Every structure is written in C-alpha cells, then in structure tokens.
Amino acid sequence: MNLLNVDSISKTFTIHILSGKIIEGFKDVSFTVPRGTALGISGPSGSGKSSVLKCIYGSYLTTRGDIWYESPRFGRLNLTRSPLRTINQIREMEIGYITQFLKVIPRVSALDIVSAPLMEAGAFRKAARSAAGDLLEQLGIPQRLFEAYPATFSGGEQQRVNIARAIIKAPHLLILDEPTACLDADTTSVVLDILLALRKKGTTMIGIFHQPEILARFSDAIYRMKTDSDRGTIQ
Ligand SMILES: Nc1ncnc2c1ncn2[C@@H]1O[C@H](COP(=O)(O)OP(=O)(O)O)[C@@H](O)[C@H]1O
Ligand SMILES: [Mg+2]
C-alpha cells in the first residue's frame, strides 16, 4: 500500500518585492511511495527538489495538486488541505525531517537534544538517555561529547546529532534533504547503514542525496525532476 501519493503538484512563489513577479519552484510532480520503501529524488540544482520535500512536510503551501498521506493516527489525509493543527501533530508524531542545514539549540547537551523526542513521547529519562547514547555512539560521536553543547561541535558532529534526533523515534515517514552533505565518506556510509536499517524496520523514506552512489544505495526507486514542463519519471 502507498504511504504517500503525490498527485500533480506544482509550486510557484510570488516575490512581492519584485512587484509580484512569479517564480516557478517546480511543476506537475507526481509519484507514489509504497510503505516501507525509500524514494530518491534527483535532478539539477534549482529543479525544485527541496521545495517538493517542503510541500510534503508542510513548510511550503502547495500551489496545485494533492498530497495523500496514510497517517496511522488520522487515516488517509490530503496534506495540502489539512488543518494546521493536524499537520503540526503529524510533524510531531509521525514525520521526521532532516536537512543539510544545522539547527543547533544553545546550551542543551547532545544527549538531551537527542533524547528529547522520546521524553516528549512519555519515555523515562534514564531509558531515553540510554537510547540516545547508543545512537550517538553508533554515529561515531565520542562519549566525552555526550554532555557537551553541540553549538561547539564541528559541522559533521552537529549533523550527526541532528540525524540522531530525527530518527530516535523511528518516524513513520522520514524526509531527508541532503542529510550527508557535510559528512566525510566514512560517516556518510555509517549514516546510510543506519537509514537502511531503519527502513527495514518499517520507516518509509524520501530523500535527496548529492552523490549518485549514495542515492543509488538509498533508493528503491528514483524520481527524476525535470526543469522543463515535461513530467518527471520514476525509474
Ligand atoms: N522561498 C522561496 N522563495 C522564492 N523562490 C524560491 C523559494 N524556495 C525555492 N525557490 C526557487 O524555487 C526553485 C527550486 O528551488 P529548490 O527547491 O531549492 O531546488 P533544488 O533543491 O532542486 O536545488 C529555485 O528557482 C529557487 O530559487
Ligand atoms: Mg535543494
């Protein structure tokens, strides 16, 4: 069964400071993502890949088309027409989203940042912190950094904290926008192994990866964006 059915969506941006000039983000994108699979999205820079993911996550309003999502909590929903309250609940409970851009929370330790989603879901502090420690260890973060503030970490270390926080609850749907962009080859490989293990456990994923070999390892199918008005194709 499809977890996600993206049906002919388009996105335009109106730039008010340019007297309402309209910029096309992407046009007529359609694909489905079967439950428990990973869809890769490829295409040249500026073809709208990130905007598609932002429309699914609800950070951009979709201009046209429908995004059907099977929510364990709410059932089948059109994300382009759901109330903000529902979208926020889904984002909190069901969907993880990781970008290449780091979101560092000041003066909160790595262990607290990563364990927070489990605590918010009602886990005991000790168990949540222990699970967070295991995940950080898998991701190669040295134990001495667990109680330190990620604001002081290197870009690669911060990104691993970001990834750990987004996957600790094994989200129903995981959205990845170049999550390995600032990681070295070895760490990228570790992250990919963790993502593949997560998919095996049932998390459905949709992701953009710059390196073709990483995209190929990640993806069960690939949707190629087009810059012209042609439809993209699933291969
Ligand atoms: N918030 C925004 N406001 C105006 N234009 C945007 C915005 N976000 C994206 N765009 C434009 O939409 C197009 C697609 O961008 P993006 O989705 O970032 O592409 P990609 O991720 O494939 O590089 C680009 O022309 C970009 O400038
Ligand atoms: Mg992008």
Each residue's pLDDT tens digit, 15-74: 888 888 999 999 999 999 999 999 999 999 999 999 999 999 999 999 999 999 999 999
For 133-177, the pLDDT digits (tens) are 999 999 999 999 999 999 889 888 998 999 999 999 999 999 999
Would you state the structure tokens that stand for residue 169, as one six-digit string? 């609850």
**Beta-sheet pairing, 38-42 with 64-71:** unpaired
Ligand 1 atom 13: residue of nearest CA: 25
* pLDDT for the residue numbered 224: 96
Q: Which DSSP string corresponds to 77-125?
A: EEGGGS-HHHHHHHHHHTEEEEESS----TT--HHHHHHHHHHHTT--H
Distance CA 71, CA 5 (A): 12
User: 49 CB less than 6 Å from ligand 1?
Assistant: yes
For 84-105, the pLDDT digits (tens) are 999 999 998 999 999 877 677 7
pTM of the model: 0.92
Is the model's pLDDT at 231 over the cut of 50? no
The answer to whether the CB of 220 falls within 8 A of the CB of 229 is: no
| Count of helices and strands (H, E) across the chain | 7, 10
Which ligand is nearest to the Cα of residue 55, counting in written order? 1
CA distance readout (Å), 165 to 32, 113, 136, 195: 27, 7, 9, 13
* pLDDT for the residue numbered 104: 74
Ligand 1 atom nearest to 54, measured from its CA: 17
